[in-house]
Amino acid sequence: MTWKQRLAPYALGFPTAFWLTLFFAVPLISVLSVALMTGNPEKGFTLTWHFSIFWDSLKQYHTQFLRSFYYGALSTLIALVIAYPMAYFIAFHGGRNKSTYLLIILLPFFVSYVIRAFSWQFILSNDGIFLTFLRNIGLVSKNFTILHTPFAVIAALTYDAIPYMVLPLFVALEKIDRRVITAAGDLYANPVMTFVRIVLPLTSAGIFAGFLLVFVTNVGDYVAAGILGGPGTTMIGNVIQNSYLQDQTYPLASALSSILMIVLLVIIWLYARVFGTEAVEEAVA
Amino acid sequence: MSAVEAPAAAGTPVAAPSKAPRRRERRSRSALILGGFTWLVILYTLVPIIVMIIFSFNQTPNGRVTFHWYGATTQWYVHIFEISDLTTALVHSIEVACASTLISILIGVPMAMALARHRFLGRAAVESVVFVDIAAPSVVVGASLLALFLTLNVTRGLATIMIAHVAFNVAFVVVVVRARIAGLDRSIERAAADLGASPWVTFQKVLLPLMLPGIVAAALLCFAMSIDDFIITQFVAGQTLTFPLWVYGAVKVGIPPQVFVMGTMIFLFGAVLAIGNVFFQRRSEKAAAPIQVAEPQPITTVL
């Protein structure tokens, strides 16, 4: 190899490496440093190294932290249960229309998440079409509401997660050699057995990939709670957003963000160590 | 031996006709149930979009979307650009989406080539950063970038939004384009080199045309993610508003029908592009079938 060929990958990779270092990796560290500062927006902030802020902020907002993880896990689980049969149908019965099905499933992405969340607010509001209908047929009482409840927020999170969940599951199901399933049938496994013992284990990579993508996204979400939720459904994302952009209490916001980042990075890292990065990247590609 | 085998061989054709149709019937019934379920969920995911499209035609008297139906009108389509700051926000969104897509492609494609075709120092580090970038939650990415911009005292605006969008888009470009290159047969490039093509000519005449569907798919994905992004943008926007930011700000006071009109237009534009891409890929895959390795790339075909 000539020195030119040797240097080629560095030259090719440099711009992206530079950009990701400066605008992705370094910021993750700078958020930690802001957490250790004291001051206010008028006078400026100085580094004071008071590590207690992490503990204090966690103590103050542990409810929102726990709620975020609870909402995130629950919505991910429901999305998984809904998305699995869909991915199964498309992979095994989609025939020639597989890419058309996937396209239809991805259609919601062409409408801004904020508009879709607002559209749900519009539908589920007290004088909206859904509750008016339920009231008219006498199914619910007059003061029954959906908005501002945990149900509304979790439903919105689940709703947004379905397409993200279908993709990795579909990729995993597509990879299964159909002869394995035929073999299971030939060996007198009933369809339930075949699914539980053959299909499910073979798609575990897709299940975990979908779980990672959706769970991490939903734990950090604040749009669903911001538009459809109420005071009792505040998630940690709402707190971080509020204290950064409204209250401008940057150290507190940075501390909360750092804690969330560290917890989720550990989950991402553990995932990558155990399962590798292929399933997630295949789903994206 | 043959005496043992004979009854078994004789037994199969007898058992087969009685068993096979029943099994097929059960299979088709489960396919029907699965298909029905799938379409129901698809319908459910489309509900807010259908509502958006229908109510973009509602003749509301006070210029705010309401659930009461006042009759159909196309006036909001005629006056789509009536609200000037909303229009400005939309223009910002389109500008940022175009610029960040272009930059992400320009810097991401070479990195994808490096990862797909070369070994180099720091390769594993690049791979993990790209992976974390894809998996990282938006609120953390946004908050971290804001912390950086605050520390460096950078004025926030269109430039910082664009920087942030490239930072999350480029990882997707790298992954999508690398998957495309990995599916290509390397011997074609070698053949070009053997025939005396310089690396640049090989790239231009051989690799680039073969990568192009992947690049187009990546560009569409970038554009869609950029124009839709809310969380990261809100952190780094400062006083500047993009389309999703404007809408989020207007939710509390009521949304003008123009938002639904613009949403409908963006939706139609994206849907037409994606359908066109699927159609185009099907045709080009038929044409290029002998060259390509039969690597399934389902999602790339869609986006």
Digit-coded pLDDT (tens) for B203-243: 888 889 999 988 988 998 899 899 989 999 999 998 999 99
A25: closest CA of chain B, how far (Å): 8
Tell which B residues from 199 to 218 touch A, by Cβ distance under 8 Å: none
* CB B259 within 8 Å of CB B267: no
Q: Does B49 touch chain A (CB under 8 A)?
A: yes
| Cβ contacts of A109 on chain B, cutoff 8 Å | 224, 228, 270
Q: What is the pTM of this model?
A: 0.86
Task: Using CB atoms, pick whichever of A102, A104, A108 lies closest to residue B299.
Answer: A102
Please state the rounded mean pLDDT for residues B187-213. 88
Looking at A168-182, A217-231, A269-283, B116-130, which range is the least confident one?
A269-283
| Cβ contacts of B151 on chain A, cutoff 8 Å | 30, 33-34
Please state the rounded mean pLDDT for residues A180-189. 87
Size of interface A-B (CB pairs under 8 A): 303
Tell me which chain B residue has its CA closest to the CA of residue A190.
B23
**B287/A224: higher pLDDT:** A224
B281: closest CA of chain A, how far (Å): 11
Query: Per the CB < 8 Å rule, is B136 touching A264?
Result: yes
| Cβ contacts of A244 on chain B, cutoff 8 Å | 143, 146, 235
Q: Which domain holds residue B195?
A: 81-302
**B273/B92: higher pLDDT:** B92
Task: Using CB atoms, pick whichever of B51, B134, B303 lies closest to residue A123.
Answer: B51
Query: Per the CB < 8 Å rule, is A31 touching B144?
Result: yes
Nearest to A66 by CA among A203, A233, A194: A233
Tell me which chain B residue has its CA closest to the CA of residue A14.
B111
Tell me which chain A residue has its CA closest to the CA of residue B177.
A285
Residues 6+ apart with CB under 8 A from A147: A121, A124, A125, A126, A228, A230
User: C-alpha dihedral over B235, B240, B242, B244, to 10 degrees?
Assistant: 50
User: C-alpha dihedral over A46, A51, A56, A58, to 10 degrees?
Assistant: 110
| Cβ contacts of A282 on chain B, cutoff 8 Å | 179
ipTM above 0.95 for this complex: no
CATH code, domain carrying B247? 1.10.3720.10
Q: Does B280 touch chain A (CB under 8 A)?
A: no
CATH class in words for A62-284 = mainly alpha
Nearest to A228 by CA among B228, B252, B51: B252
Query: Per the CB < 8 Å rule, is A17 touching B126?
Result: yes
Amino acid at A172: A
Is the pLDDT at B276 greater than 90? The verdict is: no
Helix axes A98-106, A52-93, angle to 10 degrees: 150
Give the other-Cβ count within 10 Å of A46's Cβ: 9
How many domains is chain B built from? 1
Q: For residues B161 and B150, give the distance between their C-alpha atoms in angstroms, rounded to a whole number.
A: 14
| Cβ contacts of A175 on chain B, cutoff 8 Å | 296
Task: Using CB atoms, pick whichever of B110, B130, B137 lies closest to residue A12.
Answer: B110
Share of chain B above pLDDT 70, in %: 84
Q: For residues B285 and B275, give the distance between their C-alpha atoms in angstroms, rounded to a whole number.
A: 15
Task: Using CB atoms, pick whichever of B35, B170, B259 lies closest to residue A19.
Answer: B170
A27: closest CA of chain B, how far (Å): 5
Task: Give residue-wise pLDDT tens across range A236-262.
Answer: 999 999 998 888 888 999 999 999 999
